[in-house]
Structure 1
Amino acid sequence: MFTHTALASLNDLEMQVYQVVIKQSENVMYMTIRELADAAGVSTTTVLRFCRKMQCEGYAEFRVRLKLYLEQEQQPPIHYGVNEIVSFFKSINNDEFEHLIAQAVAHIIDARRVIFVGAGTSGTLGKYGARFFSNIGKFSSHIDDPYFPVNSDMYKDAVAIILSVSGETPEILRLASQFSLHRCKIISLTNSENSSLAKIADFNLSYHMPLIRVNGGFDITTQVPVLYILETIGRQLAQYLPK
């Protein structure tokens, strides 16, 4: 029901509706459209747009399909947090997402080097990605300092894989612009394909997880999808590399 394509089409307000549906699925079945709108902090018009993007004519049909979807799952309630991760894996368990992974591999396969770019937690994941890709035989490096000086030699025959949850970090966008200016191919891995980074990139993969910030704005949004996507790209890429 919640396919990767459908989730990718949601704007920020519609994503708020999705997050309420995922977190309170058992209750949503019995909510009126106004109650769901209030719970998500949006208008009823936004809820209707969300329903249509889930391939439902209206809210009544959405509630029926949600009830059937939950009944088909036949699984015991799971802890908050795990539910969101399970939902992610269900949304990508299809040929469509496999095709997106294949497209990412196609962008990388002929590159002489792969440069992972990110700051903070994304920088740490970039370092992991560089090691993982190096393990399979693809020469890779990482940049976790957004002020790292980038020279022209770095762009030659390279692909930059840029990681950012929001896709709006100014320093990361500056680096992305430099790569783009020098015609270096960019693959972005963000939480939303509507972000500025996703629009700069030649190719974007998004994972659509609820944003969680604590202690004045520190991001603790789960990065399990990022690890999975990086490893999946790497494993498929390994099939095309010399043994």
Structure 2
Amino acid sequence: MFTHEMIASFNELETALYNYISQNSEKVAYMRIRELANETHVSTATILRFCRKVHCNGFSEFKIKLKMSLEEKKKTVIKSPHHSITEFFERTLSGDLEAYMDNAAKTISTAGSVIFIGLGSSGILAEYGARYFSSLGKFSLYIKDPHFPIHTKFRDNSVTIVLSVSGENPFTVTQVNQLKQEGSKIISITNNKLSTIAKISDINLSYYVTEEWFQDANITTQVPVVYILESLARKISAYFDKTR
């Protein structure tokens, strides 16, 4: 309900009012403007100014929006990922993901270096992927900072493995575009092949599971990503064994 821009615009009194509302939202939704003014030690004029800053014409409209926000939070239900994971593995066994992973593994095995990139939960998995690949003999590094400088010696003869559920994160798209222009092969692991990152990749590995959100957080299961990462690493290790 409160955006970063709204919060940044609050003065000291409005910030105190915001803090009170955030901590007592259930109570405030049923208060009168005079009651809120007494509780927070501000004037009704301050409350009305606060309401305008959060795009409400008055305190009544603000309370309606506050109640709607509270109701939306109550409706949010965290579902079991079992169905999505089962669907993924059924598609994997009957689909062509295995062939795409074989192609990706061959590309990675001939690269001089592997760079993993991702943000948020994808950044955590990028770190895991780099460690797992390195453990099986393919030295890799991970980058979770979208502004991290990548020097030429790392880009030379490199493969970039980019992780993104939506495939639309603007920071990741920019980073992938830069790496692609500088000669790095791009392998993306995304939830679908129609996303921007998937389209600009040399190889895309899509897993297609139902995307889930809890309030503003993306809680889509990452089990398929772990499966793909570990499968790729093992395929690369097996490829090395054959060529020795």
TM range (shorter): 0.5 to 0.7
Gaps of 5+ in 1: 1-78
Q: What percent of counterpart residues are identical?
A: 41
After TM superposition, give the deviation of residue 240 of structure 1 in Å: 1.8
Query: In the superposition, relative to structure 1, how do residues 80 and 195 fare at CA in structure 2: closer, same or farther (>3 Å)?
Result: same
Q: Residue deviations 1:92-134, cap 9 Å, x none? A: 0137222111011111110011110001100000000000000
Counterpart residue number, 1:129: 129
Counterpart residue number, 1:36: none
**Is 2:97 the partner of 1:94?**
no
After TM superposition, give the deviation of residue 81 of structure 1 in Å: 2.4
Counterpart residue number, 1:234: 233
Distance, in Å, in 2 between the alignment partners of 1:156 and 1:80 is: 43
Q: Residue deviations 1:167-193, cap 9 Å, x none? A: 100100110011111011000000010
Counterpart residue number, 1:33: none
Distance, in Å, in 2 between the alignment partners of 1:230 and 1:82 is: 20
The 5-angstrom pairing of residues 159-198 of structure 1 reads: 159-198=159-198
- Which is further off, 205-214 or 95-104? 95-104
After TM superposition, give the deviation of residue 161 of structure 1 in Å: 0.1
Distance, in Å, in 1 between the alignment partners of 2:120 and 2:98 is: 29
Gaps of 5+ in 2: 1-78
Distance, in Å, in 2 between the alignment partners of 1:172 and 1:81 is: 26
- Contact 2:97/2:205 (<8 A) preserved: no
- For 1:166, give the aligned amino acid: S
SS in 2 for 1:240: helix
After TM superposition, give the deviation of residue 213 of structure 1 in Å: 1.5
TM-score after normalising by structure 1:
0.65
Distance, in Å, in 2 between the alignment partners of 1:193 and 1:81 is: 21
Q: Residue deviations 1:184-240, cap 9 Å, x none? A: 10000000100000011111001111111222x211100000000000011111012
Distance, in Å, in 1 between the alignment partners of 2:221 and 2:95 is: 24
Counterpart residue number, 1:219: 218
Counterpart residue number, 1:155: 155
Distance, in Å, in 2 between the alignment partners of 1:87 and 1:208 is: 9
TM-score after normalising by structure 2:
0.65
Distance, in Å, in 1 between the alignment partners of 2:157 and 2:111 is: 5
Distance, in Å, in 2 between the alignment partners of 1:146 and 1:90 is: 34
SS in 2 for 1:91: helix
* Alignment coverage as a number of residue pairs: 164
**Is 2:76 the partner of 1:83?**
no
- Which is further off, 202-211 or 91-100? 91-100
Distance, in Å, in 2 between the alignment partners of 1:80 and 1:213 is: 13
Counterpart residue number, 1:117: 117
Q: Residue deviations 1:35-92, cap 9 Å, x none? A: xxxxxxxxxxxxxxxxxxxxxxxxxxxxxxxxxxxxxxxxxxxx84211111110110
- For 2:159, give the aligned amino acid: V
Counterpart residue number, 1:200: 200
- Contact 2:104/2:187 (<8 A) preserved: yes
**Is 2:125 the partner of 1:146?**
no
